[in-house]
Structure 1
């Protein structure tokens, strides 16, 4: 019997709140990148407490003025400025809210948006990725932040040591 430790692959779904299904029964569509998966500039890092440090979404590489589309069908429940940046929040049928920033948008609260339809353009405000430009995409159900990548069918692979027997 070998004494060499082996590695096991653990494929994790949502790190907080269980695996979240997209509201249409399919995966979310990428909000930038013309349907192709954009480069991930920064991953989700769940805060230990609601008010604690962490990264409550993902940052996707984008260009100023690039079209931003709704990841899934829903209703605009917020459009405004937070910390000097334009933001849009869409609430989906599942109750999950997707939030985009920085986004310049003319949508109004109550507007219905369809999956893949334009909701605005990437704003020129400095954000998470300065000096580069990115789109921050958050996902939240109730008070729980969720890893948006899981809505796209992306799973985080974690290597774990397996004790030899």
Structure 2
């Protein structure tokens, strides 16, 4: 039986040189008034497009609280999915951010700016019931993306050490 040792990729940089600076945040937090809210549930990519997973992050907040656009874009969806109010904004880089549950204050085709109020946290039970949270998704084409990367977070990847 062999043993494989793993090291975090972020630490592996010490073997080849100084670590890279933190990634720049491209998005602003959609809840919490600009401060980083608690992440109630992280992104968990499905192995297959149709498979189980968590296709976004859940951010702790309060029912009725404001929801703002993470970046400039155009509202490309406003409606209800699975009984919850949803809003999607498509950004210039082709990434679509989706927010739920949201009582929308915007309409399809509206241009929104980073930090602009797009609605409020809806009364529907969401992923965090009985607590309230905002589910924030990110997608480019058919591919779900980890929204945390747009806030400047780096994903730690474990690699085998020879």
Hey, what's the Cα distance between the residues in 1 that align with 2:44 and 2:55?
6
Runs of 4+ residues over 6 Å off in structure 1: none
Residue pairs, 1:94-105, within 5 angstroms? 94-105=93-104
Gaps of 5+ in 2: 11-23
Distance change >3 Å, CA 44–CA 117, structure 1 → 2: same
C-alpha displacement of 1:162: 3.1
Residue pairs, 1:33-72, within 5 angstroms? 33-72=32-71
Between Structure 1 and Structure 2, how many residues are aligned? 146
Hey, what's the Cα distance between the residues in 2 that align with 1:130 and 1:26?
29
Going by fraction, where is helix more abundant, 1 or 2?
2
SS of residue in 2 equivalent to 1:76? strand
Partner of 2:128: 129
SS of residue in 2 equivalent to 1:150? helix
C-alpha displacement of 1:9: 2.1
C-alpha displacement of 1:160: 5.0
Alpha-carbon displacement from aligned partner over 1:9-37 (angstroms, at most 9, x marks no partner): 224xxxxxxxxxxxxx8520000011010
Hey, what's the Cα distance between the residues in 2 that align with 1:99 and 1:134?
14
Hey, what's the Cα distance between the residues in 1 that align with 2:70 and 2:41?
18
SS of residue in 1 equivalent to 2:9? strand
